[in-house]
């Protein structure tokens, strides 16, 4: 009879699920944080979690470790489903060794990462750990190396999502940085390489943990964090939403949904939404809302580099990635941060078979000494490389301005866009008419200025008008095959959806190579 053994197993399992102690659980809750199992329960479909190695214990000795060998070793690993689709997850249990990583802890993570890669399913890490377990020394550090290696091997193969729900310091911060998306919770999660005490000792600067590496800092200043939320429940719900927009792996298409929003719906609001005057700002988000299914989209990096918008949405039920200039911020120019933000997003879309729609209203690259010395050439080239390297369906739409190198970089026909459309308000040129006229007709304008200021102004206006009539009229690019069609803004949704349907079976191969060498 196995009754006694089964009863003993039941007691052990109850102990595993309960965790180290009620006091430790209360301490976790007192910090405004959920336990690792509570987080997994919120993330996954109810009753779907299958735990791996719940009975694992460390084998280290010294510093009292031989007398403290809790089950799980401070990390819960396993698989379950989100919206019925398989995902793999590991969650640090801060109640055990502060979630610090030791040899057994790392081995469990390595195993679940290997399983995710082999199964071709997304991997979500719920991070709440104190870094490497100091008592285990270099063995713990080697464990991080194994995680980083697997993060890199899985990159572009399966979606990797890091959810920061507590501290993440030192080398541990590099794993989230290697993943596709980083979520953070305000006040309770922080990421930094060196903590406030070290910063003060070395530089004399005084800063709090949140001031150094909190959610708002990384969402607005550094760009390390893609999403920031006020509480864990909202954060984990948004992780579930993001997963609904991503394929399981790079061999599958993103999941489609049935929509009641007609593909042929006219967008009459766009006629009034976007001013014909290229100098007047407007909110590009409103354009996106008008075009996509039910006006619903998920903006990524919403608060960093706000002069460009990157978002995931659906059009006729199919997932599409959107890159758009935002005229409300810096007039929609491209700068260092905006170029990096858009380039990373284009690479992600290309890796996971998500078509890319680019909405252009860009006056150029941001001029300035800081931008040039900061490497705007190098960073702008990242966006150019990402577009040129992308083989997914790519459609560009020029709403108004598209000037200079920024026009080329933002997925023009010349860098491989499959289709390029424009509204009747488009202005595609090397530069704006005023600047161009001042260069081309400088002698005529100077001669008129010599007669009188009024004559000079009249000459300048006439030359600007002439330049616009010759080179910046809405049909100049279309006449030369650089734009496939000039369309009625109200028909934009229908035209884009028809084009996306046609491109769904697109197949393009890159030259055989080990990998490219993109600008860094």
CA–chain centroid gap for 118, Å, is 24
Q: How confident is the model at residue 61 (pLDDT cuts 50, 70, 90)?
A: low
What confidence category does residue 4 fall into, taking pLDDT thresholds of 50, 70 and 90? Answer: confident
Q: How confident is the model at residue 253 (pLDDT cuts 50, 70, 90)?
A: very high
**What's the chain's Rg over C-alpha atoms?**
27
Using alpha carbons, select from 140, 156, 115 the residue that is nearest to residue 65. 140
Which stretch of 69-78, 85-94, 327-336 has the lowest confidence by average pLDDT?
69-78
Q: What is the pLDDT of residue 404?
A: 85
Sequential DSSP letters for 287-324? HHHHHSGGG-EEEESTTSSTTEEEEEEEETTEEEEEEE
pLDDT at 11: 87
Q: How many CB atoms within 10 Å of residue 507? A: 5
**Burial (0-12, 13-18, 19+ Cβ within 10 Å), 203:** exposed
Element housing 87 (H / E): strand 85-92
pLDDT of residue 221: 96
pLDDT of the residue at 1? 62
- Burial of 64 from C-beta contacts in 10 A (0-12 / 13-18 / 19+): exposed
| Region of residue 170 (left: phi > 0; alpha: psi -120 to 50; beta: else) | left
Q: Higher model confidence: residue 356 or residue 14?
A: 356
Q: Could you give the 3-state DSSP secondary structure of residue 76?
A: strand
* Average confidence (pLDDT) over 114-138: 89
Q: Is the pLDDT of residue 197 over 80?
A: yes
- Give whichever of 132-141, 198-207, 370-379 has the largest mean pLDDT: 370-379
How much is the pLDDT for 439? Answer: 66
**What pLDDT does residue 79 have?**
98
- Higher local confidence (pLDDT), 277 or 113: 113
pLDDT, mean of residues 134-160? 90
CA–CA dist 379, 385 (Å, integer): 10
Residue 18's pLDDT band, with cuts at 50, 70 and 90, is: confident
DSSP for 117-184, please give it. Answer: HHHT--EEEEE---SB-GGGTHHHHHHHHHHHHHHHHHTTTS-EEEEE-SEEEGGGGHHHHHSSEEEE
- What confidence score (pLDDT) does residue 471 get? 64
Question: Residue 99: which pLDDT band, with cuts at 50, 70 and 90?
Answer: confident
Buried b (16+ CB within 10 A) or exposed e, 432-464: bbebbbbeebeeebeebeeeeeeebeebbeebb
Q: Is the pLDDT of residue 436 over 80?
A: no
pLDDT of residue 240: 98
What does the pLDDT average to over 60-64? 69
**Model pLDDT for residues 219-238, shown as the tens digit of each residue:** 999 999 999 999 999 999 99
pLDDT of residue 68 exceeding 80: no
pLDDT tens, 322-356? 999 999 999 999 999 999 999 999 999 999 999 99
The pLDDT score that the predictor gives to residue 58 is 74
Q: How distant, in Å, are the alpha carbons of 344, 355, 415, 482 from that of 419?
A: 22, 12, 11, 9
Question: Which pLDDT belongs to residue 352?
Answer: 98
Does residue 449 have a pLDDT over 80?
Answer: no
Say what the pLDDT of residue 235 is. Answer: 97
Q: Is-contact 327 399, C-beta < 8 A?
A: no
Higher pLDDT, 437 or 150: 150
pLDDT in tens, 268-290: 999 999 998 888 999 999 999 99
Residue 346 confidence (pLDDT)? 98
Look at residue 183 in the predicted model and tell me its pLDDT: 98
Q: How confident is the model at residue 55 (pLDDT cuts 50, 70, 90)?
A: confident
- Annotated catalytic residues are 170-171, 405-406
pLDDT for residue 447 is more than 80 = no
pLDDT of residue 70: 83
Identify the three-state secondary structure at position 71: helix
What is the percentage of the chain residues whose pLDDT exceeds 70? 94
């Amino acid at each position: 009879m196995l009754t006694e053994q089964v009863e003993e197993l039941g007691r052990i399992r109850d102990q595993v699920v309960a965790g180290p102690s009620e006091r430790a659980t209360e301490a976790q809750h007192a910090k405004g944080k959920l336990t690792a199992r509570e987080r997994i329960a919120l993330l996954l479909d109810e009753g779907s979690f299958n735990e791996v190695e719940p009975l694992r214990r460390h084998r280290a000795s010294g510093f009292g470790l031989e007398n403290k060998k809790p089950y799980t070793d401070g990390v819960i690993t396993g698989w379950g489903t989100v919206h019925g689709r398989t995902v793999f997850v590991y969650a640090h249990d801060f109640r055990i060794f502060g979630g610090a990583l030791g040899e057994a802890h790392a081995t469990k993570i390595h195993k679940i990462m290997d399983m995710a890669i082999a199964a071709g399913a997304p991997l979500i890490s719920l991070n709440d750990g104190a870094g490497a377990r100091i008592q285990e020394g270099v063995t713990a550090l080697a464990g991080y190396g194994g995680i980083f290696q697997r993060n890199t091997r899985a990159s572009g193969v399966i979606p990797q999502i890091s959810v920061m729900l507590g501290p993440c310091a030192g080398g541990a911060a590099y794993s989230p940085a290697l993943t596709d998306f980083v979520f953070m919770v305000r006040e309770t999660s922080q990421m930094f390489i060196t903590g406030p005490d070290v910063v003060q000792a070395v530089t004399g600067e005084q800063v709090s943990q949140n001031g150094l590496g909190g959610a708002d800092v990384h969402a607005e200043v550094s760009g390390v964090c893609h999403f920031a939320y006020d509480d864990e429940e909202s954060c984990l719900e948004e992780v579930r939403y993001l997963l609904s927009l991503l394929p399981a792996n790079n061999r599958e298409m993103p999941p489609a949904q049935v929509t009641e929003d007609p593909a042929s719906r006219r967008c009459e609001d766009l006629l009034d939404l976007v001013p014909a005057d290229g100098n007047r700002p407007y909110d590009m988000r409103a354009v996106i809302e008008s075009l996509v299914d039910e006006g619903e989209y998920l903006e990524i990096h919403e608060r960093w580099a706000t002069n460009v918008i990157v978002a995931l949405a659906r059009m006729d039920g199919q997932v599409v990635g959107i890159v758009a200039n935002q005229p409300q911020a810096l007039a929609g120019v491209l700068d260092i941060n905006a170029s990096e933000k858009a380039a990373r997003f284009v690479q992600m879309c290309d890796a996971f078979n998500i078509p890319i729609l680019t909405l252009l209203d860009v006056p150029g690259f941001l001029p300035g000494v800081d931008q040039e010395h900061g490497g705007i050439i190098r960073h702008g080239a990242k966006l150019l490389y990402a577009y040129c390297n992308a083989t997914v369906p790519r459609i560009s739409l020029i709403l108004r301005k598209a000037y200079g190198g920024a026009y080329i970089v933002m997925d023009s026909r010349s860098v491989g866009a499959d289709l390029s459309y424009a509204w009747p308000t488009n202005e595609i040129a090397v530069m704006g008419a005023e600047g161009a006229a001042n260069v081309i007709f400088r002698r005529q304008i100077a001669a008129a200025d010599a007669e009188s200021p009024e004559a000079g102004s009249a000459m300048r206006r006439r030359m600007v008008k002439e330049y616009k009539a010759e080179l910046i009229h809405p049909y100049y690019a279309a006449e030369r095959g650089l734009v496939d069609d000039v369309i009625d803004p109200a028909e934009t949704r229908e035209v884009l959806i028809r084009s996306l349907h046609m491109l769904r079976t697109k197949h393009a191969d890159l030259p055989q190579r080990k990998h490219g060498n993109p600008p860094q």
